[in-house]
Amino acid sequence: MWRREAALRSYDLPEPVPGTTYTLDGRGITDEDALVCALTEAVHGPGLAYPSATPHALGEELSGCTLIWHHAAVARACLGVTPLLAVPRPATFREWVDGLRAAGVRVVLD
């Protein structure tokens, strides 16, 4: 619910500047919604969320930027794990990292 409300306030966000480095605090990233909120907040500040939530779409938003992902082990253990029978299946940690990198984001896992 928080992500949906934050996305409503996030229309017309400025484009991230290529070459910029953003720091992602991964301690609370336990699902896709938490990842999207944390990633948007790292780039644009609190209370905002990108409306799209796929590795490729977010990767395109951040193309040319560097993302330093602290505490990545939390997301590695949680993303894409539950619910196993969800349709569509949520992306795994590896799919997120690979999707961001494929779109031109330099992802540094810490």
| Average pLDDT rounded to a whole number, residues 6-16 | 68
Q: Is 98 exposed, middle or buried (0-12, 13-18, 19+ CB in 10 A)?
A: middle
d(CA 35, CA 41): 10
Contacts (Cβ under 8 Å, ≥6 apart) of 105: 59, 62, 63, 64, 65, 66, 67
pLDDT tens by residue, 31-46 = 988 898 899 889 988 8
pLDDT tens by residue, 12-28 = 677 889 999 999 999 99
**Structure confidence at residue 8 (pLDDT):** 59
Nearest to 25, CA basis, from 76, 92, 72, 91: 72
pLDDT tens by residue, 50-91 = 777 789 989 998 999 999 999 999 999 999 876 667 677 889
